[in-house]
Structure 1
Amino acid sequence: MNIDKTIKDRKIELLSYFRDRASEALSSIKTLFAETQSDKRARAINENLNQTKSVLITTLLQQAEKEKWDNKEKLECVLMITYCNIVVMIESRNSVRPYEYMDFSRRVGELWDPFCKLCFYYPINNLSLFIPPLFSEVKKKITDEITDYIDNLPLSIEDKQALKTYYAKVWSLVSSGEIQLELDLHFSHNGQKYVVDFKSGFGSNEKGNTNRLLLVATIYHNLDENYKCLLFVRAEENNSYFNTLKNSGIWNAYCGNEAYQKIKEYSGYDLKNWTSTNIDWASDFNTETTAHFTDKNLLQYLLW
C-alpha cells in the first residue's frame, strides 16, 4: 500500500486492502472463537480492522508531516481511509453475525459521530481543541465563591453555617454523583469556546438523555468562559425531545443538512459534499452484504 496524497481517490484499492486484512484476521479469529461466539468474533474483527486503520493513518500523517501537506489534503485522505474501514467493518461483522435493524441502525449512528469529528481534528478554519472542565473542578470553584460570599455577610456564625448547609443540600439535589461535562467535541474558534454533542437521532425513550443535556448545557452557560453548546443530529426528522433542546435557549440544535452546514461553517470543510461525492454504500459493499441489507431493508439507515 503506497501512502501519498492520491490515496483520497483510491477507494477501490483501499477497500481491497482492508478486505485482505479482514480475511487474514478472520482466519485466525475463527480458530479462537466458535460459531456460537459470534459476538466475540465480531468484536475481534472490529478491533483488528481499527488497528489496521490506525496504522494507515499514522503512516499517512508521518508522510504528511515530511511533505508539509495542508489540513485539507490530510483530511480528505483520512476521510477516505476511515470510510473504507467502516465499509469493511460492516461487511465483516455481517459475515459473522448478520445485522438486524435495531443493532444496525444503532451502529450506523455510532460511526457517524467520529466520522464528523475528523473535520475538527484536521480543520480548514483556524480552530483549536480544548480539554473540557471536570465537574468536580466546577463544583469546587462555585462552592468556594459562595462560601466566601456567605462568610462576608453581616450574619452570625450560626446563620452563616445554616446557609452553607442549605447550599450543600442544593448540590445534592442536582446530582447524587459526578455530572459528566465531557461531550463529543470541544473547540475554540474566534475567541469563542464551543461544546458539541453529536447524535444520530432521537428515539421514543430519550427523556433521561434530554434532561442530562439540559443540565450540562445549563452548567456550561453559567461558567465564566461563556461556552456555546451545539447539537448536531444526523436524522432529518426528529421528535419532541429534539425540539425541547432546540427551543431551550441553551442549545443551538441542528439536524440533517442544517447540521452539515454548521459543520462546514465552523470547521471550514464541506463534509456533505464529500459524502455525496464519495459514499455509495450499496455499490461499495460486497455482493453478499448488499444482498442481505436489501433483503432486510437496512439500506434506508445508511443516510449520511
Structure 2
Amino acid sequence: MNIDKNIKNKKQELLSYFRDRATEFLTQIKTKFADTQSDKRARAINEALNQTKNNLITTLLQQAEKDKWTNQEKLEAILMITYCNIVVMIESRNSVRPYEYMDFSRRVGELWDPFCKLCFYYPVNNISLFVPPLFSEVKKKMTDEITDYIDNLTISDEEKQELKRYYDKVWSLVSSGEIQLELDLHFSHNDQKYVVDFKSGFGSNEKGNTNRLLLVATIYQNLDDNYKCLLFVRAQENNSYFNTLKNSGIWEAYCGNEAYQKISEYSGYNLKQWTETNIDWASDFNAETTQHLTNNNLLQYLLW
C-alpha cells in the first residue's frame, strides 16, 4: 500500500487492502475461537482491523510530516482510510455474527462519533484541543471558595460550621461519587472553550443520560473559564429528551444537517460534503453484507 496525498481518492484500493487483511485475520481468529464463540470472533476482528487502520494512519502522518502536508490533506486522507476500514469492519463482523437491529444501530452510532472528531484532530481552522478539568479539582475549588466566604461572615463559629455542614449535604445530593466532566471533545477557538457531546440519536430510555448532561453542563457554566456546551446529534428526527437539552439554555444542541453545519463552522471542513461525495454504503459493501442489511431493513441506519 503506497501512502501519498492521492490516497484520498483510492477507495477501491483501500477496500481491497482491508479485505485482504481481514481474510488473514479471520483465518487465525477462526482457529482460536470456535463457531459458538461468535462474540469473541467479532471482537477480535474489530480489534485487528482497527490496529491495521492505526498502522496506516501512523505511516501516513509520518509521511505527511516529512512532505509538509496541510491539515486538510491529512484529514481527507484519514477520512478515506477510516471510512474504508469501517466498511470492512462491518462486513467482517457481519460474516462471523450477523447484525441484528439493536447491535447495528448502536454500532453505527459508535462509529459516527470518532469519524466526526477527525475534523477537529486535523482542523482547517485555528482550533486547539484541551484537557477537561477533573470533577475532584472543580469540587475542591468551589469548596475552598465557599469555605473562605463562610469564614469571613460576621456570624458565630458554630453558625459557620453549620453552614459548612449544609454545603457538604448539597454535594452529597449532587453526586454519590465522581461526576465525569470529560465529554467526547474539548477544544478552544477564538479564546472560547467548547465541550462537545456527540450522539447518534435519542432513544426512549434517555432520561438518566439527559439528566447527567444537564448536570455536567451546569457545572461547566459555573466555572470561570466561560465554557460553551455543544451537542451534535446525527439523527435528524429526535424526541423530547433532545428538546429538553436544546431548550435548557445551557446546551447548544444541533441535529442532522445543523450538526454538520456547526462541525464545518468550528473545524473549517465541510464533512457533510465529503460524506455525500465519498460514502455509498450499499455499493461499497460486499454483496453478502448489502444483501443481509437490505433483507433486515438495516441500511436505513447508515444515514450519515
TM-score (norm 2): 1.00
Shift of 1:91: 0.2
CA displacement 1:90-125 (0-9 Å, x = unmatched): 000000000011110010000000000000000000
Deviation at 1:131, TM superposition (A): 0.2
Q: In structure 1, how many angstroms separate the alpha carbons of the residues matched to 2:273 and 2:194?
A: 24
Question: Which portions of structure 1, spanning 4 or more consecutive aligned residues, are displaced by more than 3 angstroms?
Answer: none
- Deviation of 1:249 (Å): 0.2
Structure 2 residue aligned with 1:162:
162
- SS of 1:230's partner is strand
One-letter amino acid of the counterpart of residue 216, structure 1: V
CA offsets 1:221-250 (integer angstroms, 9 cap, x no match): 000000000000000000000000000000
**What are structure 1's unaligned runs of at least 5 residues?**
none
Equivalent residues in 2 for 1:1-304, closer than 5 Å: 1-304=1-304
Superposed CA RMSD: 0.3
How many residue pairs get aligned? The number is: 304
CA drift of 1:199 comes to 0.2
User: 2 CA distance for matches of 1:103 and 1:48?
Assistant: 20
Q: Return the alpha-carbon distance in structure 2 between the equivalents of residues 259 and 277 of structure 1.
A: 18
Q: What's the CA shift for 1:18? A: 0.2
Task: In structure 1, give the amino acid aligned to 2:236.
Answer: E
Quick one: distance in 2 between partners of 1:39 and 1:121? 31
Give TM-score, length-normalised by structure 1.
1.00
Amino acid at match of 2:238: N
Query: 1:58-82 CA deviation, whole Å, 9 max, x = no partner?
Result: 0000000000000000000000000
Structure 1 stretch displaced more, 44-53 or 150-159: 150-159
Distance 1:171 1:178 in 2: 11
Q: Offset of 1:156 from its aligned partner?
A: 1.1
Q: Deviations for 1:160-189, whole angstroms, at most 9, x for unmatched residues?
A: 111100100000000000000000000000
- Matched AA of 1:167: Y
Post-superposition offset of 1:155: 1.2
Distance 2:297 2:178 in 1: 42
Partner of 1:216: helix, strand, or coil?
A: helix
